[in-house]
Chains A and B, each alone.
Chain A
Amino acid sequence: MAQVQKTGDRLAGKVALVTGGSTGIGRGIATRFAGEGASVVICARGKERLEKAAEEIAKATGSRVEAMPCDLTDEAQVQAMFKRTMDRFGRLDILVNNAGGNSNDLIVDMPLAKWESVLGVNLNAVFLCGREAMRIMKAQKGGRIVNIGSIAAKVPRMRSCAYVAAKWGVSGLTRAMALEGREDGIAVSQMNNGNTDTGHSSSAATEGAMEVDDVAGMVLAMVLLPPGVNVLEGTLTKVSMPYIGRG
Chain B
Amino acid sequence: MGRLTDKVAIITGARSGIGRGIAEAFAAEGATLVLTARTKDKLETAAQEIAKGGNRVKAIVADVTDEKQVAELFRQTVEAFGRVDILVNNAGTNTRYATVDLPLSEWKRVIETNLTGPFICGREALRLMSKQKSGRIINIASISAKRPRPNAAAYVSSKFGLEGLTRSMALDGRPDNVAVCCIYPGNTWSELKIGREEQQHREGIMEAADIGAMAVAIAALPDGVNMLECEMLPVKQPFIGRG
Contact = CB atoms under 8 A, between A and B. Distances in A.
A221 B228 contact: no
A210 interface: yes
B174 A185 contact: no
Contact of B232 (A217, A230, A236): A230
Contact of B230 (A185, A234, A238): A234
Contacts of B233: 229-230, 232
Contact of B225 (A192, A233, A238): A238
Interface residues of A, number: 37
Nearest to B239: A232
B98 interface: no
Given A178-B240, A221-B214, A238 B224 contact: yes
Given A214-B222, A229-B206, A235 B228 contact: yes
Contacts of B221: 214, 217-218, 236
Contacts, number: 102
What is the predominant secondary structure among interface residues of chain B facing chain A? mixed
Contact of B240 (A179, A231, A237, A243): A179
Given A244-B170, A244-B171, A231 B230 contact: yes
Contact of B177 (A210, A230, A239, A243): A239
Sort chain B's interface into a size bin: 20 to 34
Given A236-B226, A239-B177, A244-B167, A228 B204 contact: yes
B87 to A, nearest CB: 15
B211 to A, nearest CB: 9
What is the predominant secondary structure among interface residues of chain A facing chain B? mixed
A185 B240 CA distance: 14
Contact of B227 (A182, A218, A227): A218
Interface in A181-232: 181-183, 185-187, 192, 210-211, 214, 217-218, 221-222, 224-232
Given A233-B229, A245-B171, 8 more contacts: A183-B236, A222-B214, A224-B213, A229-B233, A234-B231, A235-B229, A235-B230, A237-B228
Interface of B: 167, 170-171, 173-174, 177-179, 204, 206-207, 210, 213-214, 216-217, 221-222, 224-236, 239-241
